[in-house]
Amino acid sequence: MIVTAGRSSPGPARAASPLLALTNVEVRYQGSILVLKNVSLSVGEGEVVALLGSNGAGKTTTLKSISSLIQSEEGRVTEGRIDFLGAPIHNQDPVSTVRRGLVQVMEGRRVLEHMSVEQNLIVASAPIKASRHQLGQALEEVYAIFPILSEFRDRQSGYLSGGQQQMLVIGRALMAKPRLLLLDEPSLGLSPLLVHTIFASIVRINRELGTSILLVEQNAKLALGIAHRGYVLENGRMVMDGTCDDLLNNEDLKEFYLGIGVTGQRRSFRDIKQYRRRRRWLG
């Protein structure tokens, strides 16, 4: 099931200075392994931007480069720059990045299993040193977006379902009051019904809290259904960008990522493999 709530109104006007801007970013691991090359993208205030690509394209590396979490894996931005709110943030302390208002939700639903739902949420507010009043307000906002978390606030988080844990890790990120949220594969391993619920919540976070979102998602149709714009990353390079309508109507994207040819017939794996060898956008 595809959520289309984010497409019912036109996207926000693009500001002269975007909230986030990557300019010709190059990333290397261990000083020599080139992973990203000349990657540029932007996210405006109030936007949802989708970052698409196949496995190994460099999507997660891009997010970790923005949040500076890449440093824990011996990775580093070696060329270009990453600006947030007009100031460079690449290769900085990840905690300081969170305090600036940029938070990443990593793939894999990494909850603190031995803690209750509410304890998980409270711990996440530590970097911003929230007052008791601010903490209460943040909890109310999270519980309004994810009512099931309020119902299970005293439950040990390790006993939550996969979908509930995904809600918890997103809610935990919201406790830091981010202006920009980086989401890595929020639909991974979830049933279609839960995916619908999660993506409807992402739309609410964007609209009701005013949070900008950079969304990494392998399901291109799903991501473009709620985003304002999108980028396509392939082999560590940005190969395509545009509005969601432009990307959804692009024959290259439909054949490679949606598996649908120009006649509307679903392509076989063999056809797609042959198509990969002749991708026109790399020609």
pLDDT in tens, 225-260: 999 999 999 999 999 999 999 998 888 777 766 655
Mean residue pLDDT of the chain comes to 85
- Spell out the residues 6+ positions from residue 283 whose beta carbon is closer than 8 angstroms to its own: none
- The yes-or-no verdict on residue 265 having pLDDT over 80 is no
Query: What CATH number labels 18-278?
Result: 3.40.50.300
Q: Give the pLDDT band of residue 67 (cuts 50, 70, 90).
A: very high
The 8-class DSSP code of residue 1 comes to -
* pLDDT value, residue 254: 73
Beta strands in 30-166, from DSSP E residues, in sequence order: 33-43, 48-52, 75-84, 87-88, 102-105
Q: Give the pLDDT band of residue 275 (cuts 50, 70, 90).
A: very low
Terminal CA-to-CA distance of the chain, rounded, Å?
Answer: 34
* pLDDT value, residue 152: 96
Q: Give the pLDDT band of residue 261 (cuts 50, 70, 90).
A: low
**Torsion sign across C-alpha atoms 69, 109, 45, 54:** positive
* pLDDT value, residue 258: 60
The 8-class DSSP code of residue 96 comes to H
Write the pLDDT tens digit of every residue in 152-208: 999 999 999 999 999 999 999 999 999 999 999 998 888 888 999 999 999 999 999
Q: In degrees, to the nearest 5, what angle opens at C-alpha 37 toward C-alphas 59 and 182?
A: 30
Q: What is the mean pLDDT of residues 97-117?
A: 91
